[in-house]
Amino acid sequence: MSVRILQIIFSVFLLLLVQELSAQGNQQTIRGTVLDSDTRQPLIGATVIVTNSDPLKGATADIDGNFTIEAVPTGRVDLQIRMLGYEEQILPNLLLNSAKELIVTVRMQESLVQLKEIEVKPEEKKGVVRNDMATLSARRISVEETSRIAGGINDPARMVSSFPGVAGDATGDNSIIARGNSPKGVLWRLEGIEIPNPNHFSDEGSTGGPINVLNSDMLDNSEFYTGAFAPEYGNALSAIFDMRLRDGNDKQREYTFKLGVLGTDLTAEGPIPGLKGGSYLANFRYSTLALLDGAGIVDYGGVPKYMDGSFKVKVPTSKNGTFSLFGLGGTSHIVDKDESDNGDTLFSRADFGSRIGVLGLTHTRTLGASGFVYSTVSVSGNSSATEYDESEVPGETPLTRYHTDELGKWTLRASTVVNNRLSAKHKLRSGIILSMEQFRMGSSSFDREVQRTVTELDTRGEATTVQAFTSWKWRMNEKLTMTSGVHLLYYALNGAASVEPRVGLKYQFHPGKALSIAGGLHSRTEAIMTYQAEAANDAGSTYRPNENLGLSKAVHAVIGYEQMLSEDIQFKMEAYYQHHFNVPVENDPNSSYSLTNYSGWFTTTPLVNKGVGRNYGVELSLEKFFTHGYHFMTTASLSDTRYKALDGVWRNSRFNMGLVANALAGKEWKIGSKDKVLTTSFRYSVLGGQYGTPIDLQASQAAGEEVAGGAPWSKKGDPIHKLDLMIAYRVGRAKVSHEIKADAQNVLNGSTRVYTYYDRRTGTIQGAPQLALLPVIMYTLRF
């Protein structure tokens, strides 16, 4: 089967490579809007030039800030944007495709020196985020950048594992381990507001999954933060993924069809008839393996079935600002069986399904020359259900229902952010965020000791979270900038509250060289399941041991240095320290149990907010941005992550991975013409092993369940090595482009154990290996 697939892939590549050179001379249109970054007002008269074009091509922004540059040769282009009184911008190495117009939105910063054009080094090459209140530990991610990183499989959440201080889950999903913190401290946002975990096959309390619900064709540039967050971000401890949906084409209809191992999908976009500037963008995807299974082409247990869709409708008005209606949804389901090789004996069966849905409305309205207001309201829902059956005596007794759960949550959120420019030097941004949750959750498991099913969760209710923030940016001069502010969080379920000051300072002491420092207090609520979990007291009565658990908190401090070694090569270094406190730990002076070592789910163990932790490390990166047809990046981080529970012993945390390093590079090769491009890339990653607790095999066999055989979290796993390779070939024609891409993870098929566990069926210690060789093949048609 695999040989035949490789033959088909080779044949398609050969067919594309031998096509005649009939695509020379393709041209396309570049359009966009130039806005003031602080007021969202159009910048009339701004000039946009395609650099190095011959003859020179450019345009001037009209009364609405819009510009159009027609008949631009396809391929890689650089745009230069200038406006009197504003800092110049360069948008480098944009990919102009023959099948799609290139549409950009440019937000320009007012210059501190008026009546003079200030030429600066092009910040757009540095992955600088749009949120100018962020000082450090921030990175912008473009969809195009994600598509050419080996092992990224068009998922921005997987690409961030290439950044310093960030590690992915080696077993295969896209969970994010940032600076040694548990993935459960990650916050996901879309269109400026928090959303549930946007991944298939995920449950309440987790933040990752094997496949992202959001298709990359829907996304605009995303922003990723790993510490010392800006004042507007709350309810996060480890990392923030802030995503935006792009606008659809408001002039003509365009389509993208993809057929690949991970899914078959169609994206459509175009103008709304009769509405100037209005557009729609929509996508639907279905599991390719599920389609093949339904057609009888593949036949094996555990076929993952999923589908998802998303959309955005932009509605500008002449007097009331711009409205955007957006949404996403997805369902996933899998049945996994553990049976004998001949299929005669069934040892266990797991049935799992999950759903997510988000519907939102945004409104942007300018306040003239003083600022703008951005508001969002959304309703979201996420749910999951599990049924797990297992033999009491493996292979000898009928299956028994050992676990079942059904978790559901619906949330209404609303936020308003007001951005005020007091002057070229001073800016204020303030906002309020309201979240109202309704939940219904149940979970029960079979207790072998008492030989009966025990209810661990049976609840329904509501929980309200109120957040507010204000931040101030002071550009003291062209070299020195300070941001400061405060974030407030109140959790009405148990009355927990936090007041969180933040501050950042950046000193651009030389062109291309900067020193920065930032710090602040941060907090996060736990999963609702943790607060509502049930246990029995000594009298046999049911109670909720953790309903009054407070917020987990951490102080972040970061210092950073960055230098442009050349026009397209940047060196960065950041050193950080995080002091965690109010960490939930078991209420037992002899216990080492801490929630900091877990990435999801819940516990019925009685907890108190008396644990502490400390994370510190240094991160280095050397990056050549994509110019002259190639790019590369090397990153390395060395960290130490420890915690202390009520037993008073400082221990390694589970995610104390130590060294995490990456080396990646990519190259575009023009074949015959600029509309025939071969892209190759690789990524080699080294992840320090996670910590675990040794298992006593003999004691586990006697007890019929896992029994610890050493000090908690004292056994470090082996380092994990992974090589990813990607090759893609793109052919452009007038109004049409084709691309075939092969993205293979773990090419060397490494099988290092990520963690170990006791297998009750076999009576042995087993290991969960890193994800095996996974070739992801995809064909893309744009028209």
Mean predicted confidence (pLDDT) in 37-55: 93
- What gap in Å lies between CA 65 and CA 316, rounded to an integer? 14
pLDDT confidence band for 297 (50 / 70 / 90): confident
Q: What is the pLDDT of residues 73-124, one digit of tens each?
A: 998 999 999 999 999 999 998 999 999 999 999 999 999 875 444 444 444 4
For the chain, give the mean pLDDT.
91
Percent of the chain with pLDDT over 70: 94
Q: What is the pLDDT of residues 542-575, one digit of tens each?
A: 999 999 999 999 999 999 999 999 999 999 999 9
CB neighbours of 671 closer than 8 A, spacing ≥ 6?
A: 17, 677, 678
- What gap in Å lies between CA 730 and CA 678, rounded to an integer? 6
What single letter denotes the amino acid at residue 583? V
pLDDT confidence band for 157 (50 / 70 / 90): confident
- pLDDT confidence of residue 530: 96
Find out whether 376 and 312 touch, Cβ atoms under 8 Å. no
Least confident of 46-60, 390-404, 552-566, 667-681: 390-404
- pLDDT confidence of residue 300: 60
Nearest to 284 by CA among 265, 299, 268, 260: 265
201: left (phi over 0), alpha (psi -120 to 50) or beta: left
Q: What is the pLDDT of residues 662-714, one digit of tens each?
A: 999 999 999 886 689 999 999 999 999 999 999 999 999 999 899 999 999 99
pTM of the model: 0.92
Q: What angle do CA 477, 478, 481 make, to 5 degrees?
A: 65
pLDDT confidence band for 299 (50 / 70 / 90): low
- pLDDT confidence of residue 128: 78
- pLDDT confidence of residue 54: 87
At residue 440, φ and ψ (nearest 5 deg) are -145, 115
Nearest to 110 by CA among 40, 59, 30, 176: 40
Find out whether 437 and 464 touch, Cβ atoms under 8 Å. yes
Find out whether 597 and 182 touch, Cβ atoms under 8 Å. yes
What single letter denotes the amino acid at residue 376? T
Q: Where are the beta strands (DSSP E) in 599-647?
A: 607-627, 630-644
**Is 50 exceeded by the pLDDT of residue 8?**
no
Mean predicted confidence (pLDDT) in 360-381: 96
Percent of the chain with pLDDT over 90: 79
Q: Where are the beta strands (DSSP E) in 199-253?
A: 222-225, 239-243
CB neighbours of 31 closer than 8 A, spacing ≥ 6?
A: 66, 67, 68, 69, 101, 102, 103, 104, 251
Residue 146, class by beta-carbon neighbours within 10 Å (0-12 exposed, 13-18 middle, 19+ buried)?
Answer: buried
48: left (phi over 0), alpha (psi -120 to 50) or beta: beta
- pLDDT confidence of residue 25: 66
Other CB atoms closer than 10 Å to residue 482's CB: what's the count?
A: 15
pLDDT confidence band for 290 (50 / 70 / 90): confident
- pLDDT confidence of residue 449: 82
| Residue 773, SS3 per DSSP | coil
Residue 71, class by beta-carbon neighbours within 10 Å (0-12 exposed, 13-18 middle, 19+ buried)?
Answer: exposed
Tokens of 725: 């390779």
Mean predicted confidence (pLDDT) in 419-423: 95
Higher pLDDT, 157 or 24: 157
Find out whether 550 and 622 touch, Cβ atoms under 8 Å. no
Mean predicted confidence (pLDDT) in 536-543: 85
- pLDDT confidence of residue 119: 43
- What gap in Å lies between CA 359 and CA 484, rounded to an integer? 33
At residue 12, φ and ψ (nearest 5 deg) are -65, -45
Q: What is the CA radius of gyration of the chain?
A: 27
Find out whether 567 and 557 touch, Cβ atoms under 8 Å. no
Q: Where are the beta strands (DSSP E) in 166-245?
A: 166-168, 176-178, 186-190, 193-194, 222-225, 239-243
- pLDDT confidence of residue 342: 78
- pLDDT confidence of residue 344: 80
**Is 70 exceeded by the pLDDT of residue 21?**
no
- pLDDT confidence of residue 579: 98
- For residue 424, give Cα distances in angstroms to 65, 193, 513, 715: 21, 28, 23, 55
At residue 696, φ and ψ (nearest 5 deg) are -85, 105
Least confident of 459-463, 646-650, 771-775: 771-775
Element (H, E) at 290: helix 288-294
Tokens of 53: 């074009």
CB neighbours of 592 closer than 8 A, spacing ≥ 6?
A: 645, 647, 649, 651, 712, 713
- pLDDT confidence of residue 120: 41
pLDDT confidence band for 126 (50 / 70 / 90): low
